[in-house]
Structure 1
């Protein structure tokens, strides 16, 4: 008997375990370098279950010969814009979009006690009361000058300018985004001006959260940029190979979520062709398919588009069009969704958004930066909207309804785009920015952006424990939290 096998058997026996003869036959054919780890992991897991026999089934499940029947793998698409896109035309379309935004938010704040006292903006201009009033609307402007801040809101009845004197309230007003919905408490000042005495954001209520019944893991990835010569193909291949290994976490992964920019695209920026190894969208998608094909078939892969992927660039984005690579759509373990989308994984709600609006928010809000994307993600949750600013860098289509309002409250909020992997929590919601699998590009270097690529983030959907594997050899490349 090999000494490694003898050691493994003695370890199990000393822990009070019996080993079935059929299991012994499997152990004889296992790589001797992995025997000790395998036996220790199985003993640990079976001890938790208070079962003290190692069977053939135990080894076949562990080694991936047989699927683990105790692991759930249920995917449901709760919200996907692909089939809902009904773009309006011109002014009519944008009027419909912002009317939809206002009405959706009005329903959201109707659950708050203050909503019973809401008045239209037009009615406040003729009001003759000393009592405070409540109005709501979209922020059209905010201006700070000297010791005061002016806030202009608009609702379907009109607009008004409110003055803020309170310093803390001024700081809150400075974080408001253009076209964001807010509710404010106002009073009539001595000179008949309107004073803002409180600002109430739609925000997310505290969450207790949904959890998976089994210890199934989901892996969160984004911004692969396949087709770019800076795509970390070797590192990504190592991750894919790890998924088929006997590692105890790898064996429990049943979901992989790719949050946009799966490929690098074509003609996205000037002279991009000089940085491509695959010159056409079709080549890039075929390359992606060949890489994803090596992922075990019991793993569900959810793919959403980003600003580099083929199809419409404006938000909301439909799923990557079938015409570019129909075989991706036909795979049983692949789910194609639009941007943004809400997915249920074993009952855990995951809101996926590529994150294009981060560009606009970082540029217009003091104190925010690309280095800390989860701080921007908190702003989006507070605003209950994924892309509130209209007319800036992020293109927004004139949809007949606003599909970017956060109506379904998630358990996990997954974003990419900025190539910085970071974790955080907000009101019980796990925030995951999943970084990238693309090395620093010349453009990023020219503007001082330092990505931390090659980090695979895994979440235990039962406990919400987060683990990660770093495939980047750079010792400074770490996951932020």
Structure 2
């Protein structure tokens, strides 16, 4: 018997395991360079299960000789804006959008006990009461003058300027995003003006996440930028090959979620053509379809658009139009969705949003940066809106219904856009930014952005344990 096999047997025995004779025959056929890793990982996995017999089945599943049929892989699309987009026009259209935002967020906040005491802004202005009153609306303006903060709030009945003196409340006010929904407790001051006593935002309630019944895993990717000369094709191919490997984590993956900027696009920024391998959008998408077709058929793939992908740039975005590449749409294991979208994976609700509004929030909120995108995503959850700021860098379409509101509380919130892998946990929600598959570009280097590319983020949907797998070369 080879000494490597003897080592494997002794290692398992010393850990309190027995090895079935049929399993021993398989061990003798394993590549000696892989044997130590294989036996250690099987022992680790079986120890978690408190099962101390290594049998033929264990080795066949681990080595890919037999499928693990116990993994659940059910999915449903819970929301997708693609078929619901009905843009209005001009000032009237945006008026309808903000009316929808107000009514939907007021409904969300109505679960709070204070909401029973809400007054319209017009009635609060008329009353000028010394008693506490509650109002709600969208924050249209915030001004800091000397030692006070002034907030201007709008609702369908009118507008009100409120004054914040309290230092702690001023910190809360400083973190508010323009055009986000707020509720305030106010009273009319002795010297005139409406004084803010409390600021309440819709926020996420404490949340117990849904879990998969089996240890099915999902891989989270974004910002492939296929077509760019900086696209990491080798690393993405290595990831796709790894999905078919005997690696114990890879064998549990049943879902891949790609959250926007699948291609680099054409004409997105000045002189972009000088940084493209494919200067035609159809060629970029043809390459995309070719790469994604290599993903094993038992793995379901969800693709949403970003600001580099063809189609509408304003939010919400429909799925990448089929006219640009029907091959993507015709792949049986690929679902093309809009941005944002929500999917259920074995009952686990995943909110996918490319993350364009991260730019606006970082630009207007002190203390936030591109290095920590998960912190910015936390702000969006607190606002219950994926792109609250109007008139900044992120274009918003004048939809009849505001589809950027976070109506349903997700279990996982997945974004990309900033090319930095980052994780956070907020009130039971796993916040995940999945980095990129594009090397640092000259633009990023010029503005000091250091991406973390070539990394797959994998989540066990039963335990919510997060793994990162780095596919970058270590030369």
* 1:393-472 → structure 2 map (5 Å cutoff): 393-472=393-472
Instruction: Confirm or deny: 8 A CA contact 2:128 2:187 kept in the other structure.
Output: no
Residue 45 of structure 1: CA displacement? 3.6
Residue aligning to 1:17: 18
**1:182-227 deviations in Å (ceiling 9; x for gaps):** 0001101123321111110110011111111111111111111111
**1:112-158 deviations in Å (ceiling 9; x for gaps):** 00000000000012215321000000011010011111110000001
Listed as ranges, the gaps of 5+ residues in structure 2 are none
CA distance in 1, matches of 2:5, 2:474: 37
* 1:371-390 → structure 2 map (5 Å cutoff): 371-390=371-390
Q: After the TM superposition, which of the residue ranges 330-339 and 35-44 deviates more from structure 2?
A: 35-44
**1:242-291 deviations in Å (ceiling 9; x for gaps):** 22221111111111111111110111111111101112112111212222
CA distance in 1, matches of 2:227, 2:80: 27
CA distance in 1, matches of 2:17, 2:271: 66
CA distance in 2, matches of 1:161, 1:46: 63
- Residues 29 and 330 from structure 1, CA distance in 2 versus in 1: closer, same or farther, beyond 3 angstroms? farther
CA distance in 2, matches of 1:346, 1:136: 37
TM-score for both structures, normalised by structure 2: 0.95
Say what the alpha-carbon RMSD is for the aligned residues.
1.9
Does 1:271 pair with 2:271?
yes
Instruction: Confirm or deny: 8 A CA contact 2:281 2:310 kept in the other structure.
Output: yes
CA distance in 2, matches of 1:245, 1:95: 53
* 1:224-239 → structure 2 map (5 Å cutoff): 224-239=224-239
**1:352-398 deviations in Å (ceiling 9; x for gaps):** 11000111111111121111111111111111100001111101001
Residue 35 of structure 1: CA displacement? 2.8
- Residues 29 and 80 from structure 1, CA distance in 2 versus in 1: closer, same or farther, beyond 3 angstroms? same
Paired residue secondary structure (2:127)? coil
Residue 472 of structure 1: CA displacement? 3.0
**1:457-479 deviations in Å (ceiling 9; x for gaps):** 1111111111112223479xxxx
Residue 44 of structure 1: CA displacement? 4.2
Residue aligning to 1:33: 33
Does 1:113 pair with 2:113?
yes
Does 1:52 pair with 2:59?
no
Instruction: Confirm or deny: 8 A CA contact 1:342 1:408 kept in the other structure.
Output: no
Residue aligning to 2:332: 332
Residue aligning to 1:124: 124
Does 1:95 pair with 2:83?
no
Instruction: Confirm or deny: 8 A CA contact 2:130 2:189 kept in the other structure.
Output: no
Q: After the TM superposition, which of the residue ranges 289-298 and 228-237 deviates more from structure 2?
A: 289-298
Residue aligning to 2:211: 211
Paired residue secondary structure (1:433)? strand
Residue 74 of structure 1: CA displacement? 1.3
CA distance in 2, matches of 1:228, 1:40: 40
CA distance in 2, matches of 1:64, 1:53: 16
Listed as ranges, the gaps of 5+ residues in structure 1 are 476-481
Residue 439 of structure 1: CA displacement? 0.9
Instruction: Confirm or deny: 8 A CA contact 1:139 1:180 kept in the other structure.
Output: yes
Residue 455 of structure 1: CA displacement? 1.7
Q: After the TM superposition, which of the residue ranges 177-186 and 38-47 deviates more from structure 2?
A: 38-47
Residue 11 of structure 1: CA displacement? 5.1
Residue aligning to 1:78: 78
Instruction: Confirm or deny: 8 A CA contact 1:315 1:397 kept in the other structure.
Output: yes
Residue aligning to 2:316: 316
- Residues 417 and 128 from structure 1, CA distance in 2 versus in 1: closer, same or farther, beyond 3 angstroms? closer
Residue aligning to 2:346: 346
- Residues 51 and 90 from structure 1, CA distance in 2 versus in 1: closer, same or farther, beyond 3 angstroms? same
Q: After the TM superposition, which of the residue ranges 34-43 and 320-329 deviates more from structure 2?
A: 34-43
Residue-pair matches, total: 473
- Residues 474 and 36 from structure 1, CA distance in 2 versus in 1: closer, same or farther, beyond 3 angstroms? closer
CA distance in 2, matches of 1:323, 1:217: 32
* 1:106-185 → structure 2 map (5 Å cutoff): 106-127=106-127, 129-185=129-185
Instruction: Confirm or deny: 8 A CA contact 1:20 1:53 kept in the other structure.
Output: no
Q: After the TM superposition, which of the residue ranges 238-247 and 252-261 deviates more from structure 2?
A: 238-247
**1:419-460 deviations in Å (ceiling 9; x for gaps):** 111111111111111111111111111222221212211111
- Residues 119 and 314 from structure 1, CA distance in 2 versus in 1: closer, same or farther, beyond 3 angstroms? same
CA distance in 2, matches of 1:156, 1:257: 39
Paired residue secondary structure (1:339)? coil
